[in-house]
Structure 1
Amino acid sequence: MPLSYAELEEKVLTALEEAQAEPRGKPNITAIAKKHGVDAQRLRRRFHGKESKSTRPPTNRKLTDAQEEAILTWIAVLDKLELSARPALI
């Protein structure tokens, strides 16, 4: 049965800790990945600083939190003035 994402992430973090603890500075990622039962490419990307799927921002998000908050505030102002929030006003 395939591992859940949380279980796989735990294995990757364990392998990543071992790779970062390598005293020579250039660990054998493939060997460490095989030892821990994770994909070598996934471990290599994480070793070089890429974020995990659960911690990186979603790809379909167009606005930052600050931008979204500004739009919501502006819509609330328009609502208090009893104006409809048309695209031309936003």
Structure 2
Amino acid sequence: MSDEEIITISQAKQEDYKKEIKKLNDILTNMECIKDILFNSVVDEVHKALFSNLLREIYSKRDKLERTIIDLAKSVNKKLQKKYKIN
């Protein structure tokens, strides 16, 4: 095999390696994009869950406070009725 044939084969292999490296880089880039999308999706879901739990807790506290105010109003009303003997 002559030197020119060896150089030609070597250049062909080098081109093949460059193509493979480009393919691998493209795959890596795609995987990084997918990772970012998945991460953002997970973060969004966590935020939704936290916000949902927070809203549920707020509504629960509001309902409890509402019941407490109603109970207090009934109690005050009963005491006023007793004090002023209103039926």
TM surpasses 0.5: no
Q: Which has the larger helix fraction?
A: 2
TM-score (normalizing by structure 1): 0.30
Which of 1 and 2 has higher RCO (CA within 8 Å, sep 6+)?
1
